[in-house]
Amino acid sequence: MAVPAAPKPETLAAFEAAKGFMPVREGLALYAAAAEAGKLGLPLLEVGTYCGRSTILLADAARAAGTVAVTVDHHRGSEEQQPGWEYHDPSVVDPEVGLMDTLPTFRRTLHRAGLEEHVVAVVGRSPQVARVWAGELGLVFIDGGHTDEHATADYEGWAPRVAEGGLLVVHDVFPDPADGGQAPYRVWLRALESGAFTEVSVTDSLRVLRRSGPGH
């Protein structure tokens, strides 16, 4: 049995040092999925950049595979990151406009990790970017807004772009409402029920599915 791919120690150290929420176990599972998907030679796309913690892993896997990581975010923060909410971080608020702006922190994260040239950062709202994206993707990682509106739009916009044999990864899947919001869970269920995707791994709240048929 093949040993799953693992990031270099310096990549993992950069991941752990970066601002963000993904635990190491889930990060390692994401990296393994990205390394496998990279064999298709297609871009690896992430919805929900925040400050670049998970982007580091996708970029390193893309570098090894000779492809590129694409990360999509408007950089104004999701619902739970706004003032007064649990995940708000005042250090990423732009004092001039009074709104969150995680883009500068993200760029510093990539620079420190030495991965800038392996990433295409798209600043925009996921549904708008999806509408102008024409090509297939080896991997789509959905980790954007966690309302039903945003999670569903991310799935509908990007799941159809996953190539045959490519991977769809969904973060923060919590079957028990006591553990977290249900929108990513409902997206995961929809992917399974579509017949287009088959689950290949579960690591805590991270689910990895492979495209095994048409549709979404």
Active site residues: 146
Kindly list the distances between the CA atom of residue 48 and the CA atoms of 75, 77, 90, in Å, as whole numbers in the listed order. Answer: 8, 9, 19
Rounded Cα–Cα distance for residues 36 and 97 (Å)? 41
What's the order of all strands across the beta sheet hosting 119-123?
119-123, 69-73, 44-47, 137-142, 162-170, 206-211, 197-203
Rounded Cα–Cα distance for residues 213 and 163 (Å)? 10
